Amino acid sequence: MKVEGLAEGPGPASQCCISRLLSVVESELQAGREKGDPTEKQLKVTLEEAELWRKFKEVTNEMIVTKSGRRMFPVLKVSVSGLDPNAMYSFLLDFQPADSHRWKYVNGEWVTAGKPEPVGNGCVYIHPDSPNFGAHWMKAPVSFSKVKLTNKLNGGGQIMLNSLHKYEPQLHIVRVGGSHRMVTNVSFSDTQFIAVTAYQNEEITALKIKYNPFAKAFLDAKESFPYSGGLPLAPPHGYKHYPPRPAPYPPPYLPHRTHTSGETHRHLAISLFQILF
């Protein structure tokens, strides 16, 4: 008996679509399977962009923490091989104190400044691709670009850190399905940093600007549009009319601005960079 409104089963077109999707998934995971080891005895985790991390470590890396949360730069990325391609894993990240000190920046260098604040409830960031097949994790570098560091307990996957304390990110790989099992814990000393609410060392600021593509684009825009806050003016969303275009030069009643050097504009841009990045 045929019931109105119910499908009798997948037709040829639907079957073709499913086969095509499965084929795409299979080819996508093939690169990961080639790096696999069902025994997990050949497991290897490698830090990506290690040379960039070392540049920051040489001058004591700093990471901004804010109430609303700030993303890391450099971004933590790792390459993994030796997982069981067909098993399921979750990737987790937390931040362990790197020492037992509080720090302060004095006369151009970081020095210890007494005992650290008590360690609060450890926040753990779960990679959004978790859980997933070992083949998925091995097919390309695993990026933690969405991690946000905060100095307030906000929840929502953000990591709360104490300002002026040194931390080291630690990666945990957990095998899931059936009974959960910790496969490995990995950390890299080159990724240590001091949490700050504003960059203290000018060398760190310079490195962030030089290597962070978002920061570089921001500063280029600031220099291209020095009198419009660094960005072309555009109407707010939902407005029907554009605001008047700004004059190409500062108005005559602000004569001091006509003599502002490009270098001063760059310093202003860097100050704003401190807030945004």
User: What is the per-residue pLDDT for 267?
Assistant: 52
- Asked if residues 63 and 196 have their Cβ atoms less than 8 Å apart, the reply is yes
For the segment 197-206, what is each residue's pLDDT rounded down to a tens digit? Answer: 999 999 999 9
Q: Between these two residues, 265 and 101, which has the higher pLDDT value?
A: 101
How many domains does the chain fold into?
1
Could you give the CA distance from residue 230 to residue 273 in angstroms, rounded to a whole number?
Answer: 11
User: What is the per-residue pLDDT for 119?
Assistant: 76
Arithmetic mean of pLDDT over the chain: 79
Residues of the chain with pLDDT > 90, as a percent, come to 55
In a domain, 177, yes or no: yes
Four-CA torsion 119, 55, 80, 123, nearest 10 degrees = 20
Q: Which distant-in-sequence residues (6+ apart) come within 8 Å of 170 by Cβ? A: 93, 94, 95, 96, 185, 186, 187
- Domain of 158? 41-206
- Asked if residues 166 and 103 have their Cβ atoms less than 8 Å apart, the reply is yes
The torsion angles phi and psi of 107, rounded to 5 degrees, stand at 50, 45
In a domain, 1, yes or no: no
For the segment 11-40, what is each residue's pLDDT rounded down to a tens digit? Answer: 666 666 776 666 666 666 777 888 899 999
In a domain, 261, yes or no: no
As given in the structure block, the two tokens for residue 77 are 């990325």
Four-CA torsion 215, 219, 224, 225, nearest 10 degrees = 100
User: What is the per-residue pLDDT for 178?
Assistant: 80
In a domain, 162, yes or no: yes
State the SS3 of 72-130: CCCCCEEEEECCCCCCEEEEEEEEEECCCCCEEEECCEEEECCCCCCCCCCCCEECCCC
User: Whole-model pTM?
Assistant: 0.72
Q: Which distant-in-sequence residues (6+ apart) come within 8 Å of 129 by Cβ? A: 91, 136, 137, 142
For the segment 193-227, what is each residue's pLDDT rounded down to a tens digit? Answer: 999 999 999 999 999 999 987 765 445 544 454 44
The torsion angles phi and psi of 135, rounded to 5 degrees, stand at -60, -35
DSSP 3-state of 272: helix
For the segment 110-124, what is each residue's pLDDT rounded down to a tens digit? Answer: 999 989 988 766 689
Q: What is the mean pLDDT of residues 153-174?
A: 90
In a domain, 135, yes or no: yes
Q: Between these two residues, 275 and 41, which has the higher pLDDT value?
A: 41
In a domain, 60, yes or no: yes
Q: Cα 115 to chain center, whole Å?
A: 29
CATH number at residue 158: 2.60.40.820
In a domain, 92, yes or no: yes
DSSP 3-state of 64: strand
In a domain, 12, yes or no: no
User: What is the per-residue pLDDT for 131?
Assistant: 96
pLDDT band at 74 (very low <50, low <70, confident <90, very high): very high
Q: Between these two residues, 117 and 60, which has the higher pLDDT value?
A: 60
For the segment 128-150, what is each residue's pLDDT rounded down to a tens digit? Answer: 999 999 999 999 999 999 999 99
Number of Cβ atoms within 10 Å of the Cβ of 193 = 25
DSSP 3-state of 6: coil
Name the DSSP class of 46.
E
User: What is the per-residue pLDDT for 153?
Assistant: 79
Q: Between these two residues, 136 and 234, which has the higher pLDDT value?
A: 136
Q: Between these two residues, 55 and 261, which has the higher pLDDT value?
A: 55
Could you give the CA distance from residue 63 to residue 194 in angstroms, rounded to a whole number?
Answer: 6
